[in-house]
Amino acid sequence: MSTEYIGKPISRVDGRAKVTGQAKYAAEFNVAAGITYGYVVSSPIAKGKITAVNTRQALSQKGVLQVFTHENVPDFAWFDRSYKDQDAPKDGSPFRPFQNNEIQFSLQPIALVVAETFELARYASTLIHFEYEIDENLQSGIELNLDKAKKPKSYKVPVTKPRGDAQKAFDKSAIQHQADYFHGSEHHNPMEMHATTVIYGDDDKLTIYDKTQSVLNSQSYVKSVFGLSTDEARVISPFVGGAFGAGLRPQYQLYLAVMAAMELKRSIKVVLTRQQMFSFGHRPATLQKITIGASADGKLQAVINNTFSETSQFEEYTENIVNWSGFLYNCQNVSFSHKIVPLDVYTPLDMRAPGGVTGVYAIECAIDETAYKAGIDPLEFRLINYAEKDLNDDLPFSSKELRECYRQGAEKFGWDQRKAEPRATRKGNYLIGSGMATGAWEAQQMPARAKAMFTIDGKLTVSSATADIGTGTYTSMTQIAAETLGLPLEDVQFKLGDSVMPMAPLQGGSWTAATIGSAVKLVCDDVKGKLFKMARKLPNSPFADADDEDVIFANGSISLKDKPDVYYTLTEVMKMSEANYIEADVTSLPNMLKQKKYSRYTHSAVFAEVAVDEDLGTVHVNRVVTAVAAGRIINTKMARSQVLGGVVWGISMALHEDSVMDNNIARFINHDLAEYHVPVNADIKDVDIIFVEEHDEVVNPLGVKGVGEIGIVGVAAAIANAVYHATGKRVRDLPIQLNKLM
C-alpha cells in the first residue's frame, strides 16, 4: 500500500458528507430549542434619511418578539471604529446597520424583525411603515462622475513607481495604441446565501455559525463590536457553499444576529435573501485608459495605465489594478495612476482574483491590439517582450515557466493553424476567431499555526482554523499530513472552521495551500520527530544509531532506508513506549529573508476559440485551453476543478455578468439570479487544462503556489481578443453583448 498522496487525484474526503446532506452550512444548524428567526428589511431608496418609523402593527402580531431599527439599537452595540478586519482597506471598518437614520446605498438594511417563525418575521416586515427624506443629489455611474475622482489616502497594494519617461517614449514610438477598457460592477453569487445562526447558551456565551472565509475574522469582529471575550464568542464554519471573496469581511447579517441574540437572550437565525446578496460588496466598475508604444519590430517602448474605479462614499476601496501593466512584459518606460470615484453604493469587495482579473483584462487586450498594428502574431509579440525579471520590483522570479505555458498551450490549441487575418475563418453563418492572453497571480505564504495529535490506535488528527470554501482544503491538508507521516489516508482527519482551533489567515488570495499546507507539514514533521526519538529509545532498537536521513515513514511504519524489512509499525512504537498519544502545536512562518529576494507568481497562458453569428451577433465559446505553471500541485483533480471553475467565470465575465445600475435611483436593477446572467451548461463547451511542471524552492517548503485565482485571470481578455479575430470589431466594454457587435 502506497502512502504517497501529494500530486495524486484523490477524491474529496468530505465529498460523501456533501452529497448526502451531512455537511452543515451556517443556516442549517438547528441545535437550539425555541430558535427565533430574523428577517432583514432593506431600504427602497439609495440616499437620504429616515424621518419616521412605525412598527406598532408589526409588533402586534402574536409571535413577533422585536423589531430593531436605528431608534432602538441596544447600547452594547457600540460601533467600535478601532476594529480592523483582515481584508479591510486601511483605516476601514465594515458597514454597521442602524448606526443612525442616514441611508447611504440602495437595499441598505434598515430593520430586523425577530419572530418565532421565518414566515411570520417575513410577513411582519411588510407591516412596518417608514417615511423618508430623499436626497436627489445622487452620485451614480463611474463614467458620469470622473470629475470627482481622487487619489485614495492609501492603497491596499502600492501603485508601482514610474520608470523611464513613458510619454516621451510613446511619442517617439513607430507603433502607437491608445484606448479605454471598461467593465461594470459584478456581484458575487455563491450558492449559499450569507447566513448567521447564533446559539445563546445558558451561561450567556454565544456559539455562532457564520458563513465566512475566516472564523477568526468574524470572531474578532463580534468581540470588538460587542465587547465580548474570546471565551464568550465561538465562531464555527465547517462548510461554506462558495464565497469567492464575499465572505472575507464580516457581513451585516452577523452583526444583526449577534445584536438580537444578546438583547433578547434567545438563539436566532438570520439569512439574507438572494436579492439582498446584491446589497453588499461587488467587483468595482473600472475604467482603464491604456497607452502603448512599440517599435516597428514589436518591442515595447512605453506603457501607460491611468485607471478609475468606484468606491463608496464612506470608505476607500482600492485594488491592485495598474501594476500588472508594468509587470507582465519587458518595458523600460512605464507610468501608472489609479484614482477612485466615490459613489452612492456599498463599498466594493474583493472578488475572485481582485484587481488582477481587471488589470490583466485591459493590458492583454491592449497588447493584442498593438500586436495587430505591428503586423505580428499575438503570441510572437508576447514572446518578443517576454519579461525575464519583475521590472516593477527589480527582482528575479522565484520560478517562471510561462514560456512553457505558451508552448504547451499553443500546441494543444493548434495556434499555428490559425489564419492571421480577422474574419478569415467561417463555418456556415458563424465567424470563427481565436485569441489568447497571459495570466498571472501572486504566490504568497502567510503565517499560520497547526495542531496535531497522533494516538495509540494509529490515527492522526490535524487542525487549523482555516476554511474550505469548496476549494478542497479538507482533502489537500489530509494528503499532506498522510504523506508526511506515512499514514494511510483513512487514518488521517483534518479539522478546520472553528475559532478554538490554531490561528490561520482568512482563506483567500490563493495562499491557503501554501500557508496551511506548510503548517500542516511542519506539525507532522514534529510528530514524526517525536516518534523517531521514541523508536530510538526502545530496547535493542534497530534505530538506536540511525539519523533522520536513514529512516523512512511509510505505510504506517518506520523502517531503515537501506533495510526496508527492518521496521516498527507506528502503533508498536507507541505501545512499547507506553504512550497513548503524541501532541504537537507549531507556528509556520514565511522565510522572508529568502522570499524577499524574489518575485513570486503563478503564470498561465489562455487560448480561446469563439463562434460569432454574423447576423445575430451572439457569441459562443467553442473551446478554451489554459496552461498553468503553479509550482507543485497537491491534488491534480481538485486543482483542475479550481482552474475549470475560474475559466467558466472568465467566460461569464467576458459575455454574461453585468450588474446594471439605474443611475436615476442608484440601484442595481437586476438584483436576482433571473436577471443577473451567468453561464449555464450549454454555454460551456470544451475546456482543456494543462499543468506545466514547475519547481520552486523559494515560495514555501512545499513548493506550491495556489490555483484558486489564476484560472480566471486572462480568460476574458482571450475571449475578447478571439471575438476581434472573428469579427474584425473591437469591443472594449465588458460584457461583450450582441448589441455591441451588431
Q: What are phi and psi of 237, to 5 degrees?
A: -155, 75
- For 727, residues 6+ apart whose C-beta sits below 8 A from its C-beta are 422, 423, 431, 433, 612, 741
Model confidence over 478-515: pLDDT tens digits?
A: 999 999 999 999 999 999 999 999 999 999 999 999 99
CA distances (Å), origin 656, targets 39, 135, 162, 282, 364: 31, 33, 35, 15, 19
What pLDDT does 500 receive? 98
Would you say 228 and 254 are in contact if contact means Cβ atoms under 8 Å apart?
Answer: no
What pLDDT does 679 receive? 95
Domains for the chain: give ranges and CATH numbers: 15-21+446-589 (3.30.365.10), 31-136+191-243+247-278 (3.90.1170.50), 166-186+282-444+596-741 (3.30.365.10)
148 — pLDDT class (breaks 50, 70, 90): very high
**Can you tell me the distance from the alpha carbon of 606 to that of 715, in angstroms, rounded to the nearest whole number?**
6
- The residues pairing with 606 across neighbouring beta strands, listed in sequence order, are 437, 626
Nearest Cα to 46, choosing from 96, 107, 101?
Answer: 107
**Is pLDDT above 70 for 592?**
yes
What pLDDT does 32 receive? 73
What pLDDT does 77 receive? 55
Torsion from C-alpha of 472, 474, 479, 485, nearest 10 degrees: 160
**Rounded average pLDDT over 327-344:** 98
What pLDDT does 3 receive? 81
**Is pLDDT above 50 for 183?**
yes
What pLDDT does 334 receive? 98
Strand 268-271 and strand 175-183: the pairing is: unpaired
Q: Which residues of 225-252 are buried (b: 16+ CB within 10 A; e: fewer)?
A: bbebeeebbbbbbbbbbbbbbbbbbbbb
**Can you tell me the distance from the alpha carbon of 129 to that of 287, in angstroms, rounded to the nearest whole number?**
40
% the chain with pLDDT above 90: 93
- For 636, residues 6+ apart whose C-beta sits below 8 A from its C-beta are 7, 8, 9, 691
**Is pLDDT above 70 for 26?**
yes
Match 451614480 to its residue by C-alpha cell.
140
Report how far apart the first and last C-alpha atoms of the chain are (Å, whole number): 61
Would you say 171 and 335 are in contact if contact means Cβ atoms under 8 Å apart?
Answer: no
73 — pLDDT class (breaks 50, 70, 90): confident
**Rounded average pLDDT over 588-596:** 96
Cα diameter, the chain: 87
**Rounded average pLDDT over 643-656:** 98
Report the mean per-residue pLDDT for the chain.
95
Total residue count of the chain as it appears in this document: 742
**Can you tell me the distance from the alpha carbon of 85 to that of 79, in angstroms, rounded to the nearest whole number?**
14
**Rounded average pLDDT over 507-535:** 97
Would you say 225 and 83 are in contact if contact means Cβ atoms under 8 Å apart?
Answer: yes
- The residues pairing with 662 across neighbouring beta strands, listed in sequence order, are 667
528 — pLDDT class (breaks 50, 70, 90): very high
**Rounded average pLDDT over 32-41:** 93
What pLDDT does 9 receive? 97
**Can you tell me the distance from the alpha carbon of 378 to that of 98, in angstroms, rounded to the nearest whole number?**
53
Give Cα 366 to chain centroid, integer Å. Answer: 26
**Is pLDDT above 60 for 85?**
no
What pLDDT does 84 receive? 56
CA angle, 416 as apex, 414 and 418 as ends, to 5°?
Answer: 85
**Is pLDDT above 60 for 402?**
yes
**Can you tell me the distance from the alpha carbon of 598 to that of 609, in angstroms, rounded to the nearest whole number?**
35
**Can you tell me the distance from the alpha carbon of 640 to that of 518, in angstroms, rounded to the nearest whole number?**
21
DSSP, res 88: P
**Rounded average pLDDT over 281-304:** 97
Torsion from C-alpha of 89, 92, 93, 98, nearest 10 degrees: -130
Would you say 606 and 409 are in contact if contact means Cβ atoms under 8 Å apart?
Answer: yes
Cell numbers for 518, please give them.
506548510
**Rounded average pLDDT over 573-583:** 97
% the chain with pLDDT above 70: 97
**Rounded average pLDDT over 372-392:** 98
Nearest Cα to 464, choosing from 429, 493, 504?
Answer: 504
Match 464568550 to its residue by C-alpha cell.
232
91 — pLDDT class (breaks 50, 70, 90): very low
**Can you tell me the distance from the alpha carbon of 649 to that of 353, in angstroms, rounded to the nearest whole number?**
11
Nearest Cα to 263, choosing from 204, 322, 208?
Answer: 204
Nearest Cα to 146, choosing from 410, 360, 277, 342?
Answer: 342
**Is pLDDT above 70 for 25?**
yes
Cell numbers for 377, please give them.
502574431
Match 456533501 to its residue by C-alpha cell.
18
**Rounded average pLDDT over 422-444:** 97
**Rounded average pLDDT over 260-286:** 96
473 — pLDDT class (breaks 50, 70, 90): very high
What pLDDT does 224 receive? 87
- The residues pairing with 704 across neighbouring beta strands, listed in sequence order, are 631
Residues noted as catalytic: 709
